[in-house]
Chains A and B, each alone.
Chain A
Amino acid sequence: MKGFRKTIKRIVPRALKVIPLLGVIMVFGSSLFTVPTAATLQSLQAGMEAPDVALKDTQGAPKSFTDLKGEKLTVLVFWSSWTRKSEDALTAMQDLHEKYKDQGIKIIGIAVDGQVVSQETQAEIAGVIEKLKITFPNFVDHGLKAFHDYGVIAIPSTVILGPDRVIEYELSGFPLIGSQEMADFISATAEGKETAAAAVEEKAGYKPDKQAVRMLNMGKNTLKSKRMADTAEMWFKKSIEADPKFAAPHISLARFYSERDNLQGAREHLEAALSKESGNVIAMCDLAMLLVKEGKLAEGKGMIEKAIKLEESYTPCYYYLGYVLGKEERLDEAVQMFDKALEINPLDYNTHIYKARLYEESKMDKESAESYRKALEVVLR
């Protein structure tokens, strides 16, 4: 752990340098030192089975989870050559790799630089690996398949899987305390300290009932089908029945209602999700945007700010806040929020869409067109 602590010590002065630059973020005080409570991934969480990975090694040979998995844990690190924080995450992971590579812990780096990775970008990725002397296996996520399958929200992000591919731990961004706790979890598991690992795991979050997860997944899958989409409602309700503590099906049901303009139904389920998991930032931000839709700007903004204090890496909260600040005619601050969202995850095209929508509603057609174009460029890149 010495090496890991050294990395953390190295990061602290850097993080302190960045804080004054963040301007508006200062308002949120201690948020940079808060352990994320939820929302590492769009729709997966600890306790759920993760999708398989289909990665290619440098010789082009395909590798799946079975080829890559560790005996005790498999740590997937989603990173990119253009995020400085990725280097911190990779360095910390290298320390853990050196210590636990022979104790059943397998660390896998997945570079998510873009939809299509040019030879120049491949060279940049290789350059980072060489500079940091990374010796654990790294892959390029061509087409961002793994990135989308896992629903990664922030870069870097870490997802720790058990031998059965069930998510044991997740961490978005690379927050100081959160990353230390994650390292403690890896150490405790590697060294066979089951009680310590269980304690860290418990702190990391509640794990839903497997049957409820299956039903939630059924609902999500039926949503993809035009003919079957309406049956998703039934599956989400069954999932709620199977595990009354599970917040995720309430959020899915709320989105289902929201897309069908049943705002009352959406609101009830977001409130239900929050009654079960008060720190669920996805539910908080979704509910906040419903309030904004109803014209309750101040109430919505308050809720988004609270969510950002709880979780620094959930991109939608930033672009929602940008949109709300813009509606309050605080355009400079709005732009800062959109920039922050892009800094966390430039691959989320919704940042550009919210910015475009704000400009469009402000009759700024030129700026709106530019932002909508950028959204499509992210999709087509």
Chain B
Amino acid sequence: MKPVLKPVLKPVLALFLSFALQALLPAPLRADNPGEAAMELEKEAVGLAHEGKLDEAIAKITEAVKWDPGYASAHVNLGYFLIKKEAWDEARKEFEEALKLNPTSHGAKTGKGIVLSRKGDLKGAEEILRDALALNPDPVRTHYELGMIYEKQGDAGKAVEEYKKGIAKVTQGRK
């Protein structure tokens, strides 16, 4: 190799090594990109929850929230995992935090609606779920929750209509 090339190659090689090292490091170690780390942790947490490993999922998503406290989606997912544990107050806190970060989050609104409904505030729950419905492209769960509220209120006819709307969305391929 001609010695004249050496000064050019050195920085190129160093840059390449730095990229390669960054790619090899696990996400949580990427302190320079906490947003990306949080997203990757969230993905892992959702996968764990899907496999029924709820405690591990909560630990993982809590880690994601620590990495990026401004990441609304992680708060929403943590809220839903806490709903599964019936930890209503903690779940509500997460949904409210998500709504502070993203006031149009239909996931957070639906989640808060579920919490309010389970805690007996049917009117408050209906209001926020209706709000979520207008924003949500995949509203099956929201229709389901509204139907439950009407059933609890003793209005079976209204519940039937709400559930049927949810089923219609399912047949359209929505979630």
- In the complex the two chains form, is B144's CB within 8 Å of A373's CB? yes
- Which residues of B (141-175) have their CB < 8 Å from a CB of A? 141, 143-144, 147-148, 150-151, 156-157, 159-160, 163-164, 166-167, 170, 173
Binary contact track B17-60/A, C-beta < 8 Å → 1, others 0: 00000000000000000000000000000000111111000000
Number of A residues near B (Cβ < 8 Å) is 27
Q: Is B64 an interface residue (CB 8 A)?
A: no
- In the complex the two chains form, is A365's CB within 8 Å of B170's CB? no
Complexed CA–CA distance, A143 and B49 (Å): 11
With A376-B143, A376-B144: A369-B52 Cβ-Cβ less than 8 Å: no
Complexed CA–CA distance, A69 and B140 (Å): 38
Number of B residues near A (Cβ < 8 Å) is 24
With A369-B156, A375-B167: A117-B147 Cβ-Cβ less than 8 Å: no
- Cβ-defined partner of B156 (8 Å) among A122, A224, A365: A365
- In the complex the two chains form, is A373's CB within 8 Å of B141's CB? no
With A122-B52, A373-B147, A375-B167: A380-B159 Cβ-Cβ less than 8 Å: no
Q: Is A360 an interface residue (CB 8 A)?
A: yes
Contacts of A379 in B (CB 8 A): 140, 167, 170
- In the complex the two chains form, is A365's CB within 8 Å of B160's CB? yes
- Which residues of A (132-152) have their CB < 8 Å from a CB of B? 140, 142-143
Nearest-CB distance from B147 to chain A (Å)? 6
Residue ID in chain B nearest A115 by CB atoms:
B50
Nearest-CB distance from B149 to chain A (Å)? 12
Residue ID in chain B nearest A119 by CB atoms:
B52
Nearest-CB distance from B164 to chain A (Å)? 6
- In the complex the two chains form, is B167's CB within 8 Å of A353's CB? yes
Contacts of B151 in A (CB 8 A): 369-370, 373
A142-B50, A373-B163, A376-B143 given; name 16 further pairs at CB < 8 Å. A56-B51, A116-B49, A140-B51, A360-B160, A365-B160, A366-B156, A368-B160, A369-B150, A372-B147, A372-B164, A373-B144, A373-B147, A375-B167, A376-B140, A379-B140, A380-B144
Interface residue ranges, A against B (CB under 8 Å): 56, 116-119, 121-122, 140, 142-143, 224, 349, 353, 356, 360, 365-366, 368-370, 372-373, 375-377, 379-380
- 10 smallest A-B Cβ distances: which pairs? A372-B163, A365-B156, A369-B159, A118-B52, A369-B156, A366-B156, A376-B144, A117-B52, A369-B160, A365-B157
